[in-house]
Chains A and B, each alone.
Chain A
Amino acid sequence: MEFYDIGLTLAFIVFGAGVIRRASHWFCLRSSGSFSFTFAGAARALIADVLLLFRTLRTSPLRWAAHCLVFFGFMGLLLFHAMDDTVTAAFFPNYEPTLDPWQFLRNLFGAITLVGLVLMVLRRVMQEKLRTLTRFQDWAALLVVGCIILSGFLLEASKIISPVVFDDMVYEYFVAEEGRDLTALKAYWTKEYGAVFPETLPMDADTLEHGRELDEESCADCHSNTASAFVSRPLSMLLTPIAPALDVSRAHEVFWSFHVLFCFIALAALPFGKFFHPISTPLNLLVRQGRRDGAPMSGRARKVALDACTRCGECSLHCSVAPVFSVLGNENILPSEKLLSLRKHAAGEPLSDEVLKAFAEGSRICTECMRCTDICPSGINLQDLWLSSKAELAEAAPEPDRAVRGMSPDKWTSCLVEAEGVKDILPPVSGLADNAESFWACVQCTTCTSVCPVVAVSEDSTRDLDLAPQQIMNLLRMGLKDQAIGARMVWSCTTCYKCQEHCPQNIRVADVLYELRNTAAARLRAADNPCEDKGDLS
């Protein structure tokens, strides 16, 4: 049992240290914001949100079913099987794992956990969007739990058919009075319990009846019929053809080792990444007490919230700006992925320039529409998390709008036009500014400028905006896009579309201005752009 003790000890040490490390984040900072907590609310949250998973039910009945199956199945196994010495035996003094109902329940709990896991895997595979979001830890969590269950079933199945296990038991608990006793017991166990022996046994009624009596005497107190192990018994029948090989290699011990090993892995992994959610998510649900608002929270509640993500991906599936992700490809636009960066950022881990830029872009593109916060089955107040980090990120990696507006024409020429390789960079949706046909009909009538509310509110449009809309159209018509791209008119456009609506020549003025902005943004985004660290913002 050295392996078991050492393994368990190590797993517990890792688990304990990890939990302390994570929980320490929750307590290390003084709570500032208001924090409303009532015991009635907590009790309600415990029943509705933690035990009955009501918030998950809001996302989809199927996902709720899958999670319930895994949750209740695994909890059943944990309490009545894994912790049988302390829990089950305490309540049921005659407890034996091989007796019914325990044998049956173990199979039942294992089976429903497995069905739940299969549903979870299918959800991640079938939903294309979710599949792309699924990372190593998501598969790892499903895999570890799956391996525990499967190795458990294999262990039980291999024990059912194993003559070695039978012999050990006989050696310990059975005294043969006659020579035929052992043969009769073996025959009975072969027929009724599914054991598989290398030798051919007599299967006549007499022998079996004798075997039944012996079984009654010596075995039945601790062994129910393995038929109630409705997963393991059929599984053992599948293994029958290779039974001798399994027996020689003492497969049941191997399966036991694996089963225990996976349990240790799960225990040790519990404080890491999403493995922590069985602890952190209920805690967060208790803190939130059923609320789905985005009101500012205390610093401590924020820390708990950061840890509560189960990476179910519902927030990203409901995200209003997910289409922007499909265009820009920046995962930090999606809430579930942005949360990973935010967690690192909040923990004070230094982010590389590239990650920081992507994270800031994701933060900027968020429209604060609240959909992620409303849907989150873990009750995470994502809105508050986004808002609390937004200003700091905007400072760290300014949006192109602010960056370009703060640049002198000299500066934006060097950043957006002359910097190496930027000239060829275009936004994902383009084709107006570089296409002469977009402008050939322009008669420079100034209608676009006349109706422009941005020009109208400017006290001195020449000074404040550099160029008027019709002048920008004229530059583009002459192929001078690079001379127009940083003009403050481009960056001050509110995209009200009055210019485009009123243009007598149907020129897509607003679309063009927008495209210019996207072009500049794409150029600023491009790697090794020298403007990133030089930006002097006023």
Chain B
Amino acid sequence: MTTDNKIYDVMVIGSGFAGMAAAAFAVKAGLNVVQTGATGGIDFSTGFIDLMGVHPMSEGKRWKNPWQAIEAMLKDHPKHPYGYLSAEEIRESVDMFTGFLSESGLEYVGHDDRNVCALTPAGTVKRTYRLPKSAWKGTEALEKKAPTLIVDFHGLKGFSAAQLAETRKKTWPSIRSARVAFPGSSGELFPEHMAWALAEPANREKLAESVMEHAADVEYIGFPAVLGVDPKPVMAHLEELTGKQIFEIPTLPPSIAGPRLRAAFDRGLPSRGVRTLSQKMVTGVRIVDGGMFQFDVGTGVAQTTVTAKAAILATGRFFGKGLQADMKTITEPVFNLPVTQPESREAWHRELFFDAAGHPVNTAGIEVDDHLRPLNEAGEVAHENLYAAGAILAHHDWTRMKCGAGIAIATAFKAVRGLTE
């Protein structure tokens, strides 16, 4: 067990979108930052940054303009976390976040005033605000309905080029599919291993060769997102080898998007002075002199104790371990904050698993004041120097509303702003 004697300005608890964004914003604001968190939902991300896609959920209405969607949604759900920010603040937060990512080598693209249409592995079209540059040409091909070959691999589960092409064929007649062997591998394949394998130029050459047998008359080639942990050089090389426009389509989780995002943060945060205690969870917290927080991070011999003047709780919901559900109730394990939740266990879920209206349990979370400081049982600020950000906030169903990354980034921005004001 070790003790870090430095007193940090802020401890960011969480390493998903919200935690990473909070750490990036806080260090940019000139604070001394320590960040911790185990792998959570980020490994299950498509890598897309959704701002607002669907409202009302029960109708499944999809929006072209996310800003209008937010406005409409807030009228119906005034307690939604976006309600704590102005549209300008949300826009600034996303720009700042993608700016940070592109400085760390992971470029994001999109339109300022409308959502992008992106292909999914099922062949459906998803609306999102920003997407990785590696997927950008897919939206072009989709828009232009250009002659395109979708490629999949023997052994890669959950990605069928044939299904994708079949689903899109009606509106996109020139789309075609081909299944090839992945160079040097057989049996079941996993995206991360494939991405590592393509770091080797010889494998790209073999891949290009086998794909070109099917790609004589297409303009674009779409691959499952396995084109390198750093996609830039791999895709440039493939474009050079094939003479075609190359793009990626997300795979089923865990996809390569998680490792790419983590790699960008691993490059970007420590180099800017953030102390990262990665792959560790907070196991204890105490209030020490002057209301500072002292955290136990990790377990056993690897445990570290750190002290910070303030904290941002960005631990996510259930999968991120920010909320814990047992057979009766939902709790918040780090600060033991009260959790807004359905009255009883019976009310957690609707009868139908795929009910379009979603399940009440998925809007559970903690309550905050206007500065995103969590409230206690009495409805008062629990700790003057504790802020919350991301999915742990109550009153949103990000998976169905398509607003997960947006909430994470925007509320992280707001929390850091509250901290520095």
CA–CA, A464 and B187, complex, Å? 9
Is A144 located at the chain interface by the 8 A CB criterion?
no
A320 to chain B, nearest CB (A): 18
Residue of A nearest to B192 (CB): A450
CB <8 Å contact, A504 and B38:
yes
Residue of B nearest to A502 (CB): B39
CB <8 Å contact, A455 and B185:
no
Is B44 located at the chain interface by the 8 A CB criterion?
yes
Contact A456/B193 with A445-B254, A446-B254, A463-B187 known, Cβ cut-off 8 Å: yes
CB <8 Å contact, A459 and B38:
no
Is A462 located at the chain interface by the 8 A CB criterion?
yes
A460 touches which of B43, B44, B185, B253 (Cβ 8 Å) = B185
CB <8 Å contact, A501 and B279:
yes
Is A468 located at the chain interface by the 8 A CB criterion?
yes
CA–CA, A503 and B44, complex, Å? 12
CA–CA, A468 and B189, complex, Å? 11
CB <8 Å contact, B186 and A502:
no
Is A237 located at the chain interface by the 8 A CB criterion?
no
B206 to chain A, nearest CB (A): 14
CA–CA, A458 and B187, complex, Å? 10
Residue of A nearest to B320 (CB): A504
Interface string of A275-318 (1 = CB under 8 A from B): 00000000000000000000000000000000000000000000
Is A451 located at the chain interface by the 8 A CB criterion?
yes
CA–CA, A459 and B192, complex, Å? 14
B186 touches which of A447, A449, A459, A504 (Cβ 8 Å) = A459
CB <8 Å contact, B254 and A459:
no
- Chain B residue numbers with a CB within 8 Å of A458 are 187
- Which B316-333 residues sit within 8 Å CB-CB of chain A? 319, 321
Contact A504/B319 with A445-B44, A447-B254, A450-B254 known, Cβ cut-off 8 Å: yes
CB <8 Å contact, B254 and A456:
no
CA–CA, A459 and B184, complex, Å? 6
B190 touches which of A446, A460, A504 (Cβ 8 Å) = A446
Interface string of B34-63 (1 = CB under 8 A from A): 000011110110000000000000000000
- Chain A residue numbers with a CB within 8 Å of B186 are 459-460, 463
CA–CA, A446 and B281, complex, Å? 21
CA–CA, A506 and B333, complex, Å? 15
CB <8 Å contact, B253 and A445:
yes
A474 to chain B, nearest CB (A): 14
Is A461 located at the chain interface by the 8 A CB criterion?
yes
Is B421 located at the chain interface by the 8 A CB criterion?
no
CB <8 Å contact, B190 and A502:
no
CA–CA, A273 and B39, complex, Å? 59
CA–CA, A458 and B196, complex, Å? 13
CB <8 Å contact, B38 and A461:
no
Q: How many residues of B contact A (CB 8 A)?
A: 23
CA–CA, A506 and B321, complex, Å? 10
CB <8 Å contact, B191 and A450:
yes
Q: Which of B185, B193, B281, B319 is most buried by chain A, counting CB atoms within 10 A of its CB? A: B193
- Chain A residue numbers with a CB within 8 Å of B188 are 461-462, 468
- Chain B residue numbers with a CB within 8 Å of A459 are 184-187
CA–CA, A74 and B383, complex, Å? 78
CB <8 Å contact, B43 and A504:
yes
B306 to chain A, nearest CB (A): 20
A440 to chain B, nearest CB (A): 12
- Chain B residue numbers with a CB within 8 Å of A456 are 190, 192-193, 196-197
Residue of B nearest to A506 (CB): B38
- Chain B residue numbers with a CB within 8 Å of A462 are 187-188
B187 touches which of A451, A460, A503, A504 (Cβ 8 Å) = A460
CB <8 Å contact, B185 and A447:
no
- What range describes how many residues of A lie at the interface? 20 to 34
- Chain B residue numbers with a CB within 8 Å of A461 are 187-188
Residue of B nearest to A501 (CB): B279
- Which B154-199 residues sit within 8 Å CB-CB of chain A? 184-188, 190-193, 196-197
CA–CA, A468 and B196, complex, Å? 18
CA–CA, A447 and B279, complex, Å? 14
CB <8 Å contact, B193 and A504:
no
- Chain A residue numbers with a CB within 8 Å of B196 are 456
Interface string of B49-89 (1 = CB under 8 A from A): 00000000000000000000000000000000000000000
Residue of A nearest to B255 (CB): A450
- Chain B residue numbers with a CB within 8 Å of A468 are 188
CA–CA, A459 and B183, complex, Å? 10
A492 to chain B, nearest CB (A): 14
Contact A504/B40 with A446-B254, A450-B193, A455-B193 known, Cβ cut-off 8 Å: yes
Residue of A nearest to B157 (CB): A446
Residue of A nearest to B254 (CB): A447
Q: Which of B185, B190, B196 is most buried by chain A, counting CB atoms within 10 A of its CB? A: B190
- Chain B residue numbers with a CB within 8 Å of A446 are 190, 254
Q: Which of B38, B185, B254, B281 is most buried by chain A, counting CB atoms within 10 A of its CB? A: B254
CB <8 Å contact, A450 and B38:
no
- Which B4-51 residues sit within 8 Å CB-CB of chain A? 38-41, 43-44
- Which A468-522 residues sit within 8 Å CB-CB of chain B? 468, 501-504, 506
A502 touches which of B185, B197, B279, B321 (Cβ 8 Å) = B279
- Chain A residue numbers with a CB within 8 Å of B197 are 456
- Which B186-221 residues sit within 8 Å CB-CB of chain A? 186-188, 190-193, 196-197
Contact A447/B187 with A456-B193, A506-B38 known, Cβ cut-off 8 Å: no
CA–CA, A455 and B188, complex, Å? 10
Q: Which of B40, B43, B197, B319 is most buried by chain A, counting CB atoms within 10 A of its CB? A: B43
A329 to chain B, nearest CB (A): 26
B303 to chain A, nearest CB (A): 15
CA–CA, A456 and B186, complex, Å? 11
CA–CA, A463 and B188, complex, Å? 9
Contact A447/B43 with A501-B279, A504-B38 known, Cβ cut-off 8 Å: yes
Q: Which of A449, A463, A504 is most buried by chain B, counting CB atoms within 10 A of its CB? A: A504
CB <8 Å contact, B40 and A455:
no
Residue of B nearest to A468 (CB): B188
CA–CA, A463 and B185, complex, Å? 11
- Chain B residue numbers with a CB within 8 Å of A463 are 186-187
A352 to chain B, nearest CB (A): 41
CA–CA, A447 and B190, complex, Å? 9
Contact A502/B187 with A447-B254, A451-B192, A456-B196 known, Cβ cut-off 8 Å: no
A281 to chain B, nearest CB (A): 41
CA–CA, A462 and B43, complex, Å? 24
Residue of B nearest to A465 (CB): B187
- Chain B residue numbers with a CB within 8 Å of A451 are 192
CA–CA, A63 and B192, complex, Å? 58
CA–CA, A468 and B190, complex, Å? 11
CA–CA, A459 and B43, complex, Å? 24
B184 to chain A, nearest CB (A): 6
- Chain B residue numbers with a CB within 8 Å of A455 are 190, 193
Residue of A nearest to B196 (CB): A456
CA–CA, A446 and B156, complex, Å? 12
- Chain B residue numbers with a CB within 8 Å of A464 are 187
Could you list 29 examples of A-B contacts with CB < 8 Å?
Answer: A445-B43, A445-B44, A445-B253, A445-B254, A446-B254, A449-B190, A450-B190, A450-B192, A450-B254, A451-B192, A455-B193, A456-B190, A456-B192, A456-B193, A459-B184, A459-B187, A460-B186, A461-B188, A462-B187, A463-B187, A502-B279, A504-B38, A504-B39, A504-B40, A504-B41, A504-B44, A506-B38, A506-B281, A506-B321
- Shortest 4 CB-CB contacts between residues of A and residues of B: A460-B187, A462-B187, A456-B193, A460-B186
